Amino acid sequence: MRRLVAAAVAAVMVAGPLHQVPVAAARGLDQYLGLPLTNRLSDVEPGGVHRELPTDSETLGRLVDQARRSGLPEPSYAALLLQYRLAQATEEAGIDLAAWNPFDGFTANRSNMLKSYRYYEDFQLARRELQWAGMGGQVGGDFGGGIADIEWITQLYDTPGVQESARQVFSAVADAFGPQAVAQLPGGLRALADHAEAITTEDLYWFVTRVVIMQKAIFSDLMPMHYVYLHEGMGGLEEMHRAGLFPDEIMEAWRDVASGDADHVARGNAVLLNREQGWVVGGMWDDVRGYKDGLGEAFTFLMTLAGSPSVAGVPPLREHSPVTISGVLPDGRTATLHTPIPDWDWSRYEQRWDFVTTQLLPRYRHQSEHDWPALEATLRVPYEQQFEGARATSRIPEILGAVARSTYITVP
């Protein structure tokens, strides 16, 4: 009987859309078969990956088991399977999937964000090889804590000093090296100096909400995999892979993670991190940077300026690849201008990945392999405390002021 059902479904897959699978053959599953992943990245609506699917793991589990017993090919119930795994992960994290609405902004989602990152770190505490989860929990809290409170950020922009400080940097550069050097400063700093007074509460709310959407998108993609790895092992991940929920390179990454070999474990976690930063949120960061003819770039520059990952040994983002400008002084001598502001932008994938691969990944790996007691102690700190301790945005005027004072030139 199973062979007959499988053959019937396979024939339908060739002949037309999956939702045309006969009710009798699919044993009542037809309404859930072939559903597209319309909300895969949580950027369309609240809830799970498709609005027609249940959101509790018990119901979803029964449906998935029914699909398996019917001999249906995994791609025919891919959305159902992903929703099931997502529901299992959210329930274990203490999050209500049906009510999880990132479009409500930070305040309404603060608890979900804290529970998410606590969940990440718990995976690392449970299994030493799950380095992506531990690092994601630490760094996620750093960024979340730095930009999360929309009311507080609004107060920041209402506070005199941010735009004035940015303009002081331009003046310091022009005084030290001439007006031609100003054009070589980061576009985000120019956007801040030119447009900060135009930023509205609505702009800030949009920006913070986009970050909240990214946070849920990352959870929705990576946490179902982690849940399955911890609770069911490679067999569960292979089912997700056969369903088309992730490509071959991600399946191979999980094999590396499970290998027990330190180099392979590190390589597998790096592939997972690249999926997060590229496939999941890469386009979202591009959208943020392109927002409103310069305002978005001002936001992403401020985030790069203020960001300071709490991973041991990792420098603040602004200290990675700082601005240097070479030119000729009026007396003909060649000189170099140094100013401690980032010559890159976290929202640009290639630049972000350079920081990740040269700073975050090697330093987190070193601590996880060689100083586990210290890392474990950090991960066991109550997450509310980790989150609030990461707030760096309040120091932006101070940071910009220090940049202006620290700009200098060197002459060989």
- Model confidence at 151, pLDDT cuts 50, 70, 90, reads low
Q: How far is residue 243's CA from residue 332's CA, in Å, rounded to a whole number?
A: 66
Query: What distances in angstroms separate CA 370 from CA 23, 73, 248, one per listed residue?
Result: 57, 44, 31
Task: Report the amino acid identity of residue 64.
Answer: V
User: In this structure, are residues 134 and 379 in contact, taking their beta carbons and an 8 Å threshold?
Assistant: yes
Q: How far is residue 192's CA from residue 289's CA, in Å, rounded to a whole number?
A: 12
Cβ neighbours around 348 below 10 Å, total: 16
Q: What b-and-e string marks burial along 175-200, b requiring 16 or more CB atoms within 10 Å of the CB? A: ebbeeebbeebbebbbbbbbbbeebe
| Residue predicted with more confidence, 7 or 106 | 106
Cβ neighbours around 391 below 10 Å, total: 17
- Model confidence at 391, pLDDT cuts 50, 70, 90, reads low
User: In this structure, are residues 238 and 252 in contact, taking their beta carbons and an 8 Å threshold?
Assistant: no
Q: What is the pLDDT of residues 48-76, one digit of tens each?
A: 999 999 999 999 999 999 999 999 999 99
In the numeric block, the tokens 């702009």 are attached to 203
Q: Which of 210-214, 271-275, 388-392 has the lowest mean pLDDT?
A: 388-392
Mean pLDDT score, 182-203? 79
Say if residue 127's pLDDT is above 50.
Answer: yes
What kind and span of H or E run contains 219? Answer: helix 201-231
- Model confidence at 11, pLDDT cuts 50, 70, 90, reads very low
- Model confidence at 250, pLDDT cuts 50, 70, 90, reads very high
Q: How far is residue 283's CA from residue 349's CA, in Å, rounded to a whole number?
A: 9
Sheet with 408-410, strands from edge to edge, namely 322-328, 334-342, 408-410
What kind and span of H or E run contains 321? Answer: none
Return the C-alpha torsion angle 98, 33, 279, 203, nearest 10. -40
- Model confidence at 152, pLDDT cuts 50, 70, 90, reads low
Say if residue 255's pLDDT is above 60.
Answer: yes
Q: How far is residue 114's CA from residue 235's CA, in Å, rounded to a whole number?
A: 30
Mean pLDDT of all residues in the chain? Answer: 85
Residues in the chain, how many? 412
Q: In terms of Cα–Cα distance, which of 3, 8, 56 is closest to 33?
A: 8
pLDDT at residue number 19: 37
Question: What is the chain's alpha carbon radius of gyration, rounded to the nearest angstrom?
Answer: 24
pLDDT at residue number 401: 66
Q: How far is residue 367's CA from residue 312's CA, in Å, rounded to a whole number?
A: 7
Cβ neighbours around 377 below 10 Å, total: 10
Return the C-alpha torsion angle 194, 200, 203, 208, nearest 10. 110
The SS3 of residue 341 is: strand
Question: Which 8-state DSSP code applies to residue 243?
Answer: T
pLDDT at residue number 185: 81
Q: How far is residue 363's CA from residue 369's CA, in Å, rounded to a whole number?
A: 10
Mean pLDDT score, 318-344? 81
Q: What is the pLDDT of residues 78-105, one digit of tens each?
A: 999 999 999 999 999 999 999 999 999 8
Query: What distances in angstroms separate CA 106 from CA 63, 125, 151, one per listed residue?
Result: 34, 27, 10
pLDDT at residue number 20: 39
- The domain locations on the chain are 2-93, 103-315+345-396
Q: In terms of Cα–Cα distance, which of 145, 148, 146, 121 is closest to 364?
A: 121
Q: How far is residue 175's CA from residue 361's CA, in Å, rounded to a whole number?
A: 39
What percent of the chain has pLDDT above 90?
A: 56
pLDDT at residue number 8: 35
pLDDT at residue number 303: 83
pLDDT at residue number 79: 98
Query: What distances in angstroms separate CA 218 from CA 42, 67, 78, 252, one per listed residue?
Result: 9, 27, 18, 19
| Residue predicted with more confidence, 146 or 127 | 127
In the numeric block, the tokens 């993609």 are attached to 221
pLDDT at residue number 23: 37
pLDDT at residue number 13: 37
Say if residue 326's pLDDT is above 80.
Answer: no
Q: In terms of Cα–Cα distance, which of 265, 275, 282, 285 is closest to 364?
A: 265
User: In this structure, are residues 85 and 240 in contact, taking their beta carbons and an 8 Å threshold?
Assistant: yes
Q: What is the pLDDT of residues 257-310, one digit of tens each?
A: 999 999 999 999 999 999 999 999 999 999 999 999 888 998 888 888 878 888
Question: Which 8-state DSSP code applies to residue 316?
Answer: P
